[in-house]
Structure 1
Amino acid sequence: MTLYFFLYIFSIYSGYFYIKNNSTIFIFILISILPLIKKRFLFFFSLFIIFISGWILSLKSEPFLSEGNYRFDFVVKRSLKNDYIVSKDNVNFLLKTDLDFLEGDRIFGIFKVEKLDFENDYEKYLENYDVFYRLNILKIDSCKSIKTVDRFRSILVNRAKEKYDDQKISGFINSILLGYRKDLSPSLKKDFINSGVIHLIAISGQHVLIIYSFLFSIFYFIPIKKRAKVIISIMLLIFYSFLTYNNPPVVRAVIFITIFLLGELIGRKVDRESLIFLTFLLMLIFNDSNFKDNGFILSFIAVYGIYISSEIFQFKSGFLKVFLTSVIVLILTIPYMMFQFKYISVGSPFFTFILYLPFSLIIPMSILSFIPFFGFLTYPVNYIFKFIENVVAFSDRLSLIYHFQIDLIIFILLETTLIFIFYKKFKFSFLFSTIIFFYVIFCINRFC
């Protein structure tokens, strides 16, 4: 209970600084009261929060800007497949260009501003990122590229292309190591989607854990104090997070590992449920747009499913635990997948089980292959990739993907059922319900 009060006070204190420009934080403060509510009032208070939050969010309006030509300086906020989301004074724009920019670049020039019509799916998708205007470049005066991190990332991307002549392999490696998908083969991506294991090439907490285990193995042979090993590992993981442009699942995993390691240093056992909630809270406070990121939502639902599985299944067999954990995660994510993406893949647990070991090997081996002395590892990496490619290609022929579409009410009922199934056993089903309530609020605001 002390932890609940601490988190509640912390969220109020943080929300004080954000409330004027960030109504989502205010909503989260309301939701943070949920653990303090008695069970018999929990359902009614939750409904109250949904309606109040929907009303608050409905008051938010898009920024007003007249169409025309402007001289602006923008910061590249997000790189899409062929376009960029740029920002000026907290207003987001879609920048369509064939030029290459890095996230964080500052662009100076003259641009033509046009309002988006939201007549196609792509523009409706952009609305999730609060993008209401399109920019066409008339003249670029200058572009200030930033950060050593971006240069180092570019070096690694090019290094993979040099080491692996097959663009399909280099594109795959850059995707699983850095989240760089521009060179990822469309056919390979399609096969991963159909097999239900697209999360394996979407850089995630699993990748961070594998990289941390790899670092820990290296430091095991280095004669330095444990405290120094932990501090160096944390610094390298934070740097890796920047290399992935602070991808939400990566940030979550880095926070998890950092708090866990610091707890070990001071001899304090970390409660995993509390850690999940605290990480969720921090990531929303510092960037509430995370909630509109599908990767953010799915990663927290998945990590909660992993936690539940570890408490339910006490098997010694690691592979059996991986399979059953995948089943639990699939069950928890099915309603979200049907509502947001309109499909599910029932083969996901099976193929996750098959590919778990190959991915655990190919990630550290790919990193080592960049080092000249370990260049020979490119050969086993090629063989492992071919195995992975054949598995996902085989799954595509099985047609294990099913298309479903459910409306908002069915989505709420399904998620509420799952919440109450796990609520009696796990005190932090509150976290899972918080994620769902947030998403419901967003849907009410967007579709109603």
Structure 2
Amino acid sequence: MRSDITTETPPGVVVHRLRLRPAHEDPALLVPAGDTGLAAGLADQIRRLAESGIRGTGPVLTYSRLPDGGSVLCRFIPADNSSCLDVRVAVLSEEAARARLTPIDAWPEECWTTRPGTLTPRPWIDRTELVRFAAEARGQLPCVLADVRELFAGRAGPQILLVERRPHDVARWIALICASLPQQAARELTFTTSATRPYAAFEQIVGVPPEAEFAFSEVELRHLYRVRSAEGRCSPALGDPWAEIAARLWQHGRPELITDTARIPLGAPFDAGRLAAVALLELLPVGREAELLAAAWISRPENTGGMAQQDVDGLMDALTRIDRAAVGAAGPRPAALGQILRAFRSLRRRATPEVAAPVALSLGRAALRTALDRCAVVSADPLADLGLDRADRERLAAEFGAEVRAVLDAGDSSSAERAGSLVLARALELDPSGPYECAANRRTV
């Protein structure tokens, strides 16, 4: 997915090979078979990684932090005809961790064997395959992305356990997750693709085979871990707008938009409103509530100040699509419409007049329809700040004048309803004493 994958050993990388064997005093423990050439603390960390249950599960890739600020990539391979593990270790300095290396790019065996003693990450899963995987996992995808976003919150969320039969499927999950994250976050994410004893694992994302030694208790599922499985027990879903929108973009086959900054400058990480606005610009449906989040984001002028003119116009035009959602079959939604009107007023200062005019007319219709259904609480001109010209107001008067007069003339209208209808009559420049006549020019409408 990413175009910035390096094909050379990143700066500061040292690659070692070692073998771990069962300890004589306790076969459940692993110890190095001979001198490792590694610092004692690093050798102990690799041993602890192995003891989280890597043996017997096929090739496993782990990425972990080191106390000195560096990190370590390990590929564990069960040794032939023995209970030992062969381990390839790439020690990444802090400089290397900041370089163009996303750790999951080191999943293929060829990355470790093409040039002995070096690590050569390379693309191994393309966009088409990731989109296909996202479609297969559509039921879990919003939950997993919500869990990942929680990892990067001010107070980091709990470990994520991905229950899959094959480490390769966990690697696909991690590749999908990394493609959904800002590059720096993708490079910092720690993981292991398989651990049969996940209680001993300390990475942020842990692959767990179904036969793992894990209780799946209610407390663990709800509070201690985020567990995701297509078949077994899972943690409750987290309602997360950013994750929902990102998952929809995967389903649309446009995951690159999740991290794209070409049309809308990057703001706060995981901003659901901004991501919904990106989808609006690309004419991709992401749901009514998400579009209203986009409207709220657009309504803040500082968010759109750095955008190109054509993209400002694109967002302005998109407001008519949100308008149809706000005034749907179930009737007007005043709060939603108010949010869209605020977005329009924010964009109107910069939008091309020819683009803004039809949007203003459409929103004027929606505002009048909402006001007529709530006449008793109307106290201000609902068309204010839309920039409607006289021709547009006359068009709206022709469409809504009869309904306004009907409220005025109804014998059972309350005083509040009559007062509200008078506000609407003035907004449409109707003469309330005549038969639906435009007070501006006394022309019957």
Question: TM-score, normalized by length of structure 1?
Answer: 0.21
> Considering only CA atoms, is the larger Rg found in Structure 1 or Structure 2?
2
Greater helix content: 1
Q: Which has the higher contact order (CA 8 A, sep 6+)?
A: 1
